Amino acid sequence: MLPLERQNKILEILEQRQAVSVDELSALLYSSGATIRRDLQALENGGMIRRTHGGAVHIDSNSMDFPMTLRENENLNAKEVLAQKALPLIRDGQTLFMDSSSTICRLARHLTGFQRIRVITNGLKTASILADIDGVEVYSTGGRLRDNAMSFGGTQAMDFARQFHADYAFISCRGIDPEVGVTESNETEAELKRVYIQNAKRVVLMCDGSKIGQRFFCKIAPVESIWKIITNVQLPAEYGQ
């Protein structure tokens, strides 16, 4: 098992149990104690867990922002399904807002075969992928780099994004709930996504089934402001799609 896969498993176990020992993780993941301790150190350095004597405890994920290196390897099959569903919406000559999420990053990989598309993004990884694709004109928001998330944010990023209007805004989220709306764990990301929503003709939310019914720290927008929700599960009727 690769380190990132093992660390994702540790996060899943901690979310279920709230606390776990190194010995338990070693048995569950068929790994040595030294390997598990290195994984726990890496996760603690990323602010995702808190180590204790002999183990680790779960940190409330409502305000947690997972690193891009972990997020891009989660639910890959689901993200590919979402990308394939979103792709038919895109046409030559369009202007798109694309956020910095790993889900939208997956969509970016498929923007091939177009003559000309403009993309405004705050995602460093997204911009890097698009820069290698012919026919895509990339505008990076710039601003303060959140290196853990590989994204730009802050006042400069928002001011840059406000200059443009787009046919579509493709965004993802940490959670969506019919009462609370679309939510994010990081305030900087939430603020920029609000700009995208305000300046786009149509907003497409791409989120896998694990995010349905979840509520996180920062509200992005009410569900009613989303033109289309693309997911890999049957969306409950209360979402109005």
Domain boundaries, the chain: 3-59, 70-239
Region class of 30: left (phi > 0), else alpha (psi between -120 and 50), else beta: left
> Residue 212 has what pLDDT?
93
Tell me what pLDDT residue 39 has: 92
C-alpha to C-alpha distances, 134 to 51, 99, 201, 239, nearest whole angstrom: 46, 20, 25, 37
DSSP 8-state code for residue 59: P
What's the pLDDT at 65?
56
Fold classification of 3-59 is Arc Repressor Mutant, subunit A (1.10.10)
Q: Give the architecture-level CATH label for domain 70-239.
A: 3-Layer(aba) Sandwich (3.40)
Contact 204, 169 (CB under 8 A): yes
pLDDT tens, per residue, the chain with 241 residues: 888 889 989 988 988 877 889 999 999 999 999 999 999 998 888 778 888 878 888 765 554 555 565 566 667 889 999 999 999 999 999 999 999 999 999 999 999 999 999 999 999 999 999 999 999 999 999 999 987 678 999 999 999 999 999 999 999 998 999 999 999 988 899 999 999 999 999 999 999 998 999 888 789 999 999 999 999 999 999 998 8
Instruction: List pLDDT tens digits, range 80-117.
Output: 999 999 999 999 999 999 999 999 999 999 999 999 99
Bridge partners of residue 208, in order along the sequence: none
For the four alpha carbons of 37, 43, 49 and 51, in that order, the dihedral sign comes to positive
